[in-house]
Amino acid sequence: MGLWLRQIPNFISSLRMLLAVPIALALAHHQLILTLWLFGAAAVSDALDGFLAKQFGWQTLLGGILDPLADKLMLATVFVVLTCLGSVPVWLTAAVIARDCIIVLGAISYRIVFGSLTARPSLVSKLNTVCQIIFVLVVIGAQQFNWPPVWALVLGALVFCTVAVSGIDYVWVYGRDAVARARAHRSAFRGGGSKPA
């Protein structure tokens, strides 16, 4: 029973990934109220799976992959649809997706070269995710409720700043770690030792 309970956060993350499709369809068909409800549910699920995993010690290796992947898939999908509808500038969506691609490709490369990788989302990365969620809600809400566009502009600038800072932070932290591990490997080989685990 305990083994199944540990999978609850993973199940919630999987549902969030599946929600990307109905959210995109509702948004594309201008069903904004439905979009807000679905996107809001996805945002709540993001907080819920993280809370359950930490509160009850239900963290798993699969969860460490599914949770950020679900966030990236959901947000990237919504950003792309909003850009196609003319609600979000292309450059901002390109920045969001480019950051995610750099992180994912970097993680894959790191794992191929060095093996295990423990993901440690930084504070600025978490802030970036929150900013993106709020930005999407405000952009959609502005269309539905005729809110002044200034809030979307301010939040869009904040999203871009946190995208840039968190992207640089990921590259710096994991790049530095990769260099340190590469030097350790070279030192071990020169010393005639075995390859470090």
> What are the pLDDT tens digits along the chain (197 aa)?
567 777 888 899 999 999 999 999 999 999 999 999 999 999 899 889 888 888 888 877 777 788 888 889 999 999 999 999 999 999 999 999 999 998 888 877 877 777 666 666 778 888 999 999 999 999 999 988 888 888 889 999 999 999 999 989 888 888 887 787 777 777 777 765 544 44
pLDDT of residue 119: 63
pLDDT of residue 1: 52
pLDDT of residue 117: 65
Burial 30-40 (b: 16+ CB within 10 A, else e): eebeebbebbe
Tell me how far apart the alpha carbons of residues 178 and 172 are, in angstroms, rounded to a whole number: 10
- Has residue 196 been placed in a domain? no
Number of domains in the chain: 1
Residue 75 neighbours by CB under 8 Å, 6+ apart: 96, 129, 132, 133, 136
Listed in order, strand segments (DSSP E) in the chain are: none
- Has residue 195 been placed in a domain? no
Tell me how far apart the alpha carbons of residues 185 and 179 are, in angstroms, rounded to a whole number: 10
- Has residue 132 been placed in a domain? yes
For residue 87, give its domain range.
Answer: 2-190
- Has residue 130 been placed in a domain? yes
pTM of the model as a whole: 0.83
Under 8 Å between Cβ of 23 and 35: yes
Give CB contacts under 8 A, 24+ apart, made by 34-38: 35/140, 36/137, 36/140, 36/141, 36/144
